[in-house]
Amino acid sequence: MSNVVLAANGLNKSYDDAGEKLVVLDSLELTVQAGETLAIVGASGSGKSTLLQLLAGLDTADSGDVSVAGIDIRGLSPAKLGRLRNQHMGFVYQFHHLLPEFDALENVAMPLLLAGKSTKEASERAATMLDRVGLVKRLKHRPSELSGGERQRAAVARALVSEPAVVLADEPTGNLDQENAMQVFELMLELNQQTNTAIVLVTHDEHLAAKMPRQELLQNGKLVTL
């Protein structure tokens, strides 16, 4: 049985830039194994965020294939793609994207409720995950009542609460000071060890990237192992 949780084969993506064809991804190949941690670095505008959008099925490649947990996402209906994301993928962004009208517990429970779990089970699992990220005393606090580091830790808890196959993280520490950035980063690595969820991290921070066992440079539309 394959341990590949995320794969991209021959991904091509280009844009029209003032009449010129701007190639962002050029026959890109990527394979991520269960539990693997990978940092993708590259210059600004190299296509790192575009790559994550394609891997998540939030954008469409010109050509090439993406599979998540062994499922080819091409041709999936929006509803099926949404269910696939909710079941097998987690997301952490530079900005936490917590829903302001809900408290931390409700925000973290949301993916489980969308997956059809009971309110009781979703709340219990969300509380456990918030405890693991050090927010057990902040369950009933809304995002506006949390610090920047606490909001991002809640976002990490939300991404991992359903124990997805892979978490895609786009500059997850980019909006934090150095101390909070390191805490959130170390937390993600710790939860990776506990849950065996693979992490694909896009970052401009080479210091953080260097702490990941696997590092890839996105350059000229292709990934180069560092």
Instruction: Map residue 141 onto helix, strand or coil.
Output: coil
Taking the C-alpha atoms of residue 78 and residue 88, their distance in angstroms, rounded to an integer, is 15
For residue 173, the model assigns a pLDDT of 82
Angstrom CA distances, 34 to 71, 79, 131, 155, 197, stand at: 15, 25, 24, 21, 6
Interval 141-163 mean pLDDT: 91
The pLDDT tens digits of the residues spanning 171-211 come to 888 788 888 888 888 888 888 888 889 999 998 888 888 88
Taking the C-alpha atoms of residue 222 and residue 188, their distance in angstroms, rounded to an integer, is 26
Assigned fold of 37-61+77-225: Rossmann fold (3.40.50)
In the chain, domain spans: 37-61+77-225
Interval 155-177 mean pLDDT: 88
Task: Report which of 181, 182, 188 is spatially closest to residue 159, judged by C-alpha positions.
Answer: 188
Taking the C-alpha atoms of residue 58 and residue 177, their distance in angstroms, rounded to an integer, is 29
β-partners of residue 67 are 7, 72
β-partners of residue 32 are 6
For residue 186, the model assigns a pLDDT of 86
The pLDDT tens digits of the residues spanning 6-21 come to 999 999 999 888 888 8
The pLDDT tens digits of the residues spanning 89-118 come to 988 887 878 999 999 999 999 999 988 899
Residue 138 carries which DSSP code? G
pLDDT at 130 over 90: yes
For residue 25, the model assigns a pLDDT of 94
Interval 204-225 mean pLDDT: 89
For residue 2, the model assigns a pLDDT of 63
The pLDDT tens digits of the residues spanning 52-90 come to 999 999 888 999 999 999 899 988 888 899 889 888 998
For residue 114, the model assigns a pLDDT of 87
pLDDT at 1 over 50: no
β-partners of residue 224 are 217
